[in-house]
Structure 1
């Protein structure tokens, strides 16, 4: 086995987490957090724990199946915790973890940007469509 220099090892370490590479784990995480349901749920949970039914009401248009799958994915990635309280009916609450809270300012900024710039985007789309 050839001996590698410190600089070669540094380059290898940088390349290991280069999101432009298809196999990069960071790219997989970017795929997850760029999902529309993930971003909406992260924002919906910003004010504290919510029940499944609350999230279903807050995030309009999400099906039960997609809400369940997205919350499971977020839990698996360490973005939310799921707390089950035995009662009749069973109560299930979701809350952001430390990782989820760290991501929150970015997601809030993206949501805010989208809400404040949607008119400009609509105008750009109309201009583009008129030219095409």
Structure 2
């Protein structure tokens, strides 16, 4: 249902028939819309990746931010964290089956964004 804007008795604008919180788009964006979240899932799509390798793949994101996003994705059941018994101990991440369900629309987003003009200055 599409919302329309009306004015109330005091002249204040408000949405009528607006989405109830959270609507499906809002719910999905809350899960996958965080900065670097889609990139993290995309880089894990083919095989498990160690944390430091993932940090190198995602240029521009701090290790702290990547770790935070990985924790969120793990809590949501989209990413699996595995501690490797190496010396020194390292951690690798992989996409769960639930996380793989997001890869289809991430690929569509990739294709769509490739059709847009480059807006970098």
TM-score when normalising by structure 1:
0.68
* 2:109 counterpart of 1:104: no
Shift of 1:25: 8.3
SS in 2 for 1:84: strand
Distance 1:26 1:110, change over 3 A: closer
Q: Runs of at least 4 residues of structure 1 off by over 3 A?
A: 23-29
SS in 1 for 2:86: coil
The answer for the alignment partner of 1:4 in structure 2 is none
Deviates more, 1:70-79 or 1:99-108: 99-108
The answer for the alignment partner of 1:82 in structure 2 is 81
Distance 1:26 1:90, change over 3 A: farther
SS in 1 for 2:88: coil
The answer for the alignment partner of 1:12 in structure 2 is none
Aligned length: 102
The answer for the alignment partner of 1:58 in structure 2 is 57
Shift of 1:70: 0.1
SS in 1 for 2:80: strand
* 2:39 counterpart of 1:44: no
RMSD: 2.1
Contact 1:21 1:27 in 2 (8 A): no
Contact 1:83 1:94 in 2 (8 A): yes
The answer for the alignment partner of 2:20 in structure 1 is 21
Shift of 1:68: 0.4
Q: Distance in 2 between matches of 1:26 and 1:114?
A: 19
By percentage of residues, which structure has more helix?
A: 1
Unaligned runs of 5+ in 2: 1-18
Unaligned runs of 5+ in 1: 1-19, 127-132
SS in 2 for 1:36: coil
The answer for the alignment partner of 1:68 in structure 2 is 67
